[in-house]
């Protein structure tokens, strides 16, 4: 799968949403989908974002037997790839077979960092990289690993935070991931967006994003997209058409759209853990020259 992914045939009009997990991937997918599907926003009430976009690492992340339980994914696969072989990657083949549509580019989600793709990825298509302060990303990731049956994490928050800092979690080290994008942030095909800035100044961020993607969107259209992708609207839709297939086994409450805020770390981390995290952040962020907002 690594080889297939590395050599995946990206198209010039593809939009890749790349993130370390829990940094605002789904929000950005919904924003970009909204910007490119203004004439059919209500489709989101029927179909979760998972099925309107392509989560291209799924084939490497999930066991085929679990993918095969997802009727919609498999229907999409069989429709798009009548002769496809599931063991060669359900999502990758579906994505490859998606017919080009002039104003509706493929939106491809990945949690793999730039380093796991061919070095010319940025010369082929546009990549939107979303990052979020690591404290809140860690809180959100802990919740996610308790919520989703694939992970079944049952340890304490402190144990999770230590694993997170050590990179002993799915998708590995936070800073390595961010560093690959941060180092290439001036590439014309890469747009780096901070989760906290989306919260602070959503419309301005959407305006920049629209220009980056080459879309001519009016203020009224941007406003519609912002509303379409607001936390409350997304959480509301999730209650009707959930994006997660598996549900909690160990008491994680709040669902996929948990709180959607900045600064929740201080509600869950002890003072000792905060000191350790601060040290870890200083060590890595300083050398990169990146800084995050931890409260708004
Ligand atoms: P919390 O767990 O802190 O609430 P990802 O999509 O990368 O997995 O990130 C999930 C995080 O983004 C969750 O954070 C989720 O609630 C938050 N999120 C999703 N949609 C959002 C939105 N429209 N506005 C703000 N936060 C959102």
Per residue in 83-125, pLDDT (tens digit) is 999 999 999 999 999 999 999 999 999 999 999 999 999 999 9
Residue nearest (by alpha carbon) to ligand 1 atom 10: 22
| Structure token digits, residue 18 | 């790349």
pLDDT for residue 244: 65
CA 233 to ligand 1: nearest atom: 23
Q: What is the predicted pLDDT for the residue at 208?
A: 98
**How confident is the model over 216-250, as pLDDT tens digits?**
999 999 999 999 999 999 999 998 888 865 555 56
What is the pTM (predicted TM-score) of this model? Answer: 0.97
**225 token code pair:** 């997209």
The CATH classification of domain 2-133+172-245, taken from the options 3.90.70.10, 3.10.20.30, 3.40.50.300, 3.30.450.20 = 3.40.50.300
292 three-state secondary structure = coil
The pLDDT tens digits for 28-87 are: 999 999 999 999 999 999 999 999 999 999 999 888 998 898 889 999 999 999 999 999
Residue 231 CB less than 6 A away from ligand 1: yes
Q: Is the pLDDT of residue 138 over 80?
A: yes
Alpha helices in the chain (DSSP H): 2-6, 25-36, 49-52, 58-61, 64-67, 71-80, 90-97, 121-124, 134-147, 157-166, 174-183, 195-200, 202-212, 219-228, 231-240, 265-268, 271-288
Share of the chain above pLDDT 90, in %: 88
Does residue 257 line the site of ligand 1, with CB under 6 A?
yes
What does pLDDT average to over the chain? 94
Q: What Rg, from alpha-carbon coordinates, does the chain have? A: 19
When pLDDT is cut at 50, 70 and 90, the band that residue 209 belongs to is: very high
- Per-residue pLDDT at 148: 84
Query: Could you tell me the distance, in angstroms and rounded to a whole number, from the CA of residue 14 to the centre of ligand 1?
Result: 23
What is the residue extent of each domain of the chain? 2-133+172-245
**pLDDT at position 82:** 97
- Which carries the bigger pLDDT value, residue 45 or residue 251? 45
Q: How far apart are alpha carbons 34 and 22 in whole angstroms?
A: 20
Kindly give the distance from the C-alpha atom of residue 88 to the centroid of ligand 1, in angstroms, as a whole number. Answer: 31
197 alpha carbon to ligand 1 midpoint, in Å? 13
pLDDT of amino acid 294: 98
pLDDT of residue 211: 98
Residue 245: the pLDDT is 53
Q: Is 121 exposed, middle or buried (0-12, 13-18, 19+ CB in 10 A)?
A: buried
Residue 258 alpha carbon to ligand 1 centre in Å: 7
| Token reading at 113 | 């960092």
Three-state secondary structure call for residue 176: helix
How confident is the model over 257-273, as a mean pLDDT? 97
Ligand 1, residue 231: give the atom nearest the CA.
23
């Amino acid at each position: 799968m690594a080889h297939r992914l590395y050599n995946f045939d990206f198209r010039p009009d593809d939009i890749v949403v790349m993130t370390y997990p829990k940094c605002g991937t789904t929000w950005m997918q919904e924003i970009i989908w909204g910007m490119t599907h203004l004439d059919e926003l209500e489709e989101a009430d029927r179909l979760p974002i998972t099925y309107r976009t392509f989560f291209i690492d799924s084939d490497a992340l999930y066991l085929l037997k679990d993918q095969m339980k997802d009727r919609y994914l498999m229907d999409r696969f069989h429709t798009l790839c009548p002769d496809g072989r599931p063991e060669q990657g359900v999502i990758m083949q579906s994505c490859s077979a998606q017919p080009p549509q002039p104003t509706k580019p493929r939106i491809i989600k990945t949690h793999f960092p730039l380093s796991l793709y061919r070095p010319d990825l940025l010369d082929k298509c546009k990549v939107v990289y979303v990052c979020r302060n690591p404290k809140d990303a860690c809180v959100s990731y802990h919740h996610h690993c308790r919520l989703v049956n694939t992970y079944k994490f049952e340890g304490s928050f402190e144990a999770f935070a230590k694993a997170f800092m050590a990179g002993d979690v799915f998708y590995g080290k936070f800073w390595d991931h961010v560093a690959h994008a941060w180092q290439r942030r001036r590439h014309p095909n890469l747009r780096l967006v901070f989760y906290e800035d989306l919260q602070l100044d959503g419309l301005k961020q959407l305006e920049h994003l629209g220009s980056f993607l080459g879309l001519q969107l009016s203020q009224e259209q941007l406003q519609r997209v912002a509303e379409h992708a607001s936390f409350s609207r997304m959480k509301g839709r999730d209650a009707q058409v959930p994006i997660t297939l598996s549900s909690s086994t160990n008491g994680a409450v709040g669902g996929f759209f948990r709180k959607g805020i900045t600064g929740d770390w201080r509600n869950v981390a002890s003072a000792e853990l905060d000191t350790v995290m601060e040290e870890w952040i200083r060590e890595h962020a300083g050398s990169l020259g990146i800084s995050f907002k931890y409260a708004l």
